[in-house]
Amino acid sequence: MTFSNMSFGSHRTIKQVVLTPTAALVALGGAQAADLPVKAKAIEYVKVCSLYGAGFYYVPGSDTCIKLGGFVRADATLGSYSFGMTPVSGPAGANNRLSPAYAARARIDLTMDTRTATEYGMLRTFFETTLNWVSGSYTAAGNGSTVYQSIGGVPAPANAGAGNVGYGSVGVYFAFIQFAGFTIGKAVSQYSSPWVQYPAGNFDGLPGSGGNNTGVNQVTYTADFGQGITATASLQDPTAYYQRNIWNTTYATSAGIVTGVYGSPSFGGTMAPDLVGMMRVDQAWGLFQASVAAHNNHAAYYGADETSGHASDRWGWAGQLALSIKNIPTGAGDTINLQAAYANGAINFGINENIPASWARYGNSARAGAYQSIGLAGIADAIYSGTTAATGTALQLTTTYGFNAGYTHNWNPYWNTAFYGGWAAVRYTDSAKAQICGSSGMAALGLTGACNPDFNIAGVGTVTRWSPVKNLTFLAELDATFLDQKYSGMIRAPAVAGVGKPAAAYELRNQSALVGLLRVQRNW
């Protein structure tokens, strides 16, 4: 009896031990079966796209190819705070304790290029942006103190409205679409040569050609005739880069003239795009290009409101020839680039848009009674004067012409040296000269010699580059600028607080400036 009870109890316990885990396993197995995924898709790896050259890859799941690129750059300019520019105005042009001995910059540049083959040809988008940190400089406040000037000359930290972020800046260089022969968006002006305003170096202030290296909004059509022959017609927006001053000299002041400003800024609204045409022959021996442009000058009112009347619009024009010669006997890869330009009422097509519109460069003077010397120059597309329709004049268009050239020699695969130079003349009409020289601002300066706002500028430079490994370059560059002004005699100038110059007698004379550039750049 005892045995039977023990057997029965043991049997029940065994059943419980065996059946309970079994039920749990069955339940767990059902749950796992319900959660099992459908057969996983094969991983789609990024594939090389060989249609458009090295560096392109297919976007997974599409027939679009993409290439990412850019560079990181660290550089320092010596004797200026404007990179690639000689110190011709502002604190850098003052030649005093406010003039910086150097400025430093760090820049990162990012590009994205996408291309898709379609029945109409290639569909392309391109984007380039840049982020910068520049050390900046200081300007005098006129009370014995100074104010820090960050990028764009805006006192920091209230500089966000100038496209700046903190003490740095962000820029959009290019953003365009290309399709069926059309280019739409922000791209290099079709007027520019392929090397823009840089025939051999990095100097932004080289005169003698029109060019823009950071893009302008445009709608362009290019016809390709084969054998490297193309023709282009373009409508481009002049507002940001392709118009200089329109000055009303009636409102010129002595304080403005001594900074190279000959009147009130008097642009009206943009009424018409610039019209650009270009033809190019690009072959193994080199390249030849001819460009033309037309620019509408549209002024504001003579006086404070629309009842004062206005000057009629006048169209300016420009032309440029460019020639590149490759494979010259001096060495493999050596190149000569040349270009010449003429412009009337369209100054930025004749002198590149990076050149300052107003010059005030100070220097020493041995003339008796002179505190120092100063070189003055101002650039405008058009000049006029008047406060009413009865007293107002027509627009007087300014002319410029010049040339530049560069030669690059490769010593070996790692070293090269380049030399370059340029010259340009700026000429005002007799009527414009009379308006500038007859203004109340000029009269207040008490000029004792010749009053002539015409001037010439010249620039020369050399650069040596070392690339020890692929896509890494170290360079050193030296640039000089020469201002040949046509003023003479003496002026009694008012104080210029921003550069620390006192009210005094100054001799008007030619000036020159020298600047250096050191750079290291890693492309990827």
- The set of long-range contacts for 98-103, using a CB threshold of 8 Å and a minimum separation of 24, is 98/137, 98/138, 98/139, 98/140, 98/146, 98/499, 98/500, 100/137, 100/138, 102/76, 102/77, 102/78, 103/76, 103/77, 103/134, 103/135, 103/136, 103/137
- 155 vs 22, 83, 147, 160, 162, CA distance in Å? 79, 19, 7, 10, 10
Instruction: Check if the beta carbon of residue 419 is closer than 8 Å to that of residue 410.
Output: no
Instruction: Look up the pTM and report it.
Output: 0.87
Q: Look up residue 35 and give its two tokens.
A: 């959660």
278-332: pLDDT as tens digits: 999 999 999 999 999 999 999 999 999 999 999 999 999 999 999 999 989 998 9
Name 175's Cβ contacts closer than 8 Å, sequence gap at least 6: 126, 127, 128, 185, 186, 215
Residue 138: predicted pLDDT: 78
Q: Where are the domains of the chain?
A: 47-523
443-463: pLDDT as tens digits: 999 999 999 999 999 999 999
- 75 vs 107, 475, 516, 517, CA distance in Å? 9, 9, 11, 7
CA distance 29 to 523: 57
Selection from 207, 228, 346, 216 nearest residue 279 by Cα: 228
Residue 147: predicted pLDDT: 78
- 276 vs 2, 29, 199, 295, 349, CA distance in Å? 115, 75, 22, 9, 10
Residue with tokens 């459908």: 38
Q: Domain 47-523: give its CATH code.
A: 2.40.160.10
Give the pLDDT band of residue 490 (cuts 50, 70, 90): very high
